[in-house]
Amino acid sequence: MAVFEGNFTSSTSLRFAIIIGRFNDLVTGKLLEGCKDCLKRHGIDPNPQGTQVDYIWVPGSFEISLMARQAALSGRYDAVICLG
């Protein structure tokens, strides 16, 4: 079995958009907590008041892809994370 590992080196200038579907909040809430934990462990400040992460809530999974496209095309973010 091949194992691939790498190191994540964060930069304080990275910007993230997290797009979350509201429809199944029981699931997406847990996914969001895991996402925040992962970002925090890699040196990214996941606080909504911070300048590195924007949280975009959408009604359901259909709208996630629409907002992800808009966020990616805006050029404002280095990465777009979708949770739904």
**pTM higher than 0.85 for the full model?**
no
Query: Using one digit for the tens of pLDDT, what is the confidence trace for 25-41?
Result: 899 999 999 999 988 88
Return d(Cα 6, Cα 72) in angstroms, integer. 25
Query: Using one digit for the tens of pLDDT, what is the confidence trace for 40-81?
Result: 888 888 887 778 899 999 999 999 999 999 999 999 999 999
CATH for 16-83 (3.40.50.960, 3.40.50.720, 3.40.50.1950, 3.40.605.10)? 3.40.50.960
Domain ranges for the chain, please list them: 16-83
Return d(Cα 54, Cα 80) in angstroms, integer. 10
Q: What is the pLDDT of residue 72?
A: 97
Q: What is the pLDDT of residue 36?
A: 94
Are 42 and 10 spatial neighbours (Cβ–Cβ below 8 Å)? yes
